[in-house]
Amino acid sequence: MTVLRIPDLDGKVYLITGASTGIGAGVARAFAAQGVRVGIHYNASAEAAKDVARSIEQMGGEGFLVGGDVADHKQVVSVVQQTAEHFGRLDGLINNAGSMLGRVPTLESEEDHGRAVVDLNSHSVVWACLAAYPWLRKNRGVIINTTSIAARNGGGGGAVLYAAAKGFVSTFTKGFAKEVVNDGIRVNAVSPGTIRTLFHERFSSEAQMNSMVSTIPMGRAGVVEDCVGAFLFLASDALSGYITGQIIEVNGGQLMP
């Protein structure tokens, strides 16, 4: 299969959080195929992250495994620093790590659960951006956040806190883009809809998936490969150099804002 080449990505360094499985793993492989040197972040899924690293090495790419819990401020900073110091630079940050942490109705949510959802999905993005900022400023870098269709529709059953946390990510993307634009840093986001990954295997029944798919004009749930093009587009200055503060919806028409 012929791979579309995006020349200005070759040799760049990107840290991708949550790169061991799902969309993050797909993005890591796609970026490596463009010659990007990839920081492959993982937390609990060490073996899966090693598989991603091996697949990148097999295609002749370069990956760096870096573990840590992004819901912890000190560990986020360490993940960024380790990656940047390993490669000697950082050209891009993709904040992809996140999880619903279970379908829990808001009225049944305990304080610890709510805090964990916000720390993982919201605070981690801020912490990573601040840690990466000095490195990205040197190279007029790029930040791409992963938000969700849930940020626009409030989420499904038991996912309201997750949806609100992703709404934070969407708003932060726009605001932070304004704050760093004079440093030459572009900040955008990709908003996946219903994508078949471990996320939905863990948190959605087949009946719930069928219900969601019934609302998608394209008639199917998305797959990881449907998402990676949006990340590549936003990473390339040649393709999206005049785009910042934007959110690309990847949802098969499920939401048309």
199: domain CATH number is: 3.40.50.720
Q: How far apart are the first and last CA of the chain?
A: 34
Domain-embedded: residue 23: yes
Any idea which of 93-97, 182-186, 210-214 has the lowest mean pLDDT?
Answer: 210-214
Q: Write the pLDDT tens digit of every residue in 168-178.
A: 999 999 999 99
Closest CA to 181 of 173, 191, 170, 169: 173
Quote the pLDDT of residue 232: 98
Q: Write the pLDDT tens digit of every residue in 44-92.
A: 999 999 999 999 999 999 999 999 999 999 999 999 999 999 999 999 9
Write out the residue range of the structural domain in which residue 152 sits: 7-248
Domain-embedded: residue 256: no
Whether the per-residue pLDDT at 154 is higher than 70: the answer is yes
Partnered with residue 15 across adjacent β-strands are: 39, 93
Quote the pLDDT of residue 156: 84
Any idea which of 122-131, 144-153, 201-210, 245-254 has the lowest mean pLDDT?
Answer: 201-210
Catalytic residues: 162
Whether the per-residue pLDDT at 152 is higher than 90: the answer is yes
Domain-embedded: residue 148: yes
Task: Indicate the number of domains in the chain.
Answer: 1
